[in-house]
Amino acid sequence: MIGVIVSLFFISALFFLWQFSRGEQVGKRIGFLINIWGAVIVFYVVMVVFF
């Protein structure tokens, strides 16, 4: 579980760095990041329940 949380924060940091490098306002497309978090959490829950 700790690895999932660490990977989510790592993905978030990469996302914000990518936005910053493109010159966009950081946090502008936060909904996209929330969708990624949701997909990872759902995937993790499915893996725990079925395997």
pLDDT digits (tens, 9 = 90+) for 7-50: 888 888 888 888 888 887 776 778 888 888 888 888 888 888 88
Specify the pLDDT at position 34: 86
pTM > 0.85: yes or no: no
| Separation CA 33–CA 17 (nearest Å) | 13
| Separation CA 28–CA 1 (nearest Å) | 28
Specify the pLDDT at position 25: 77
Reply yes or no on whether the pLDDT at 4 is more than 80: no
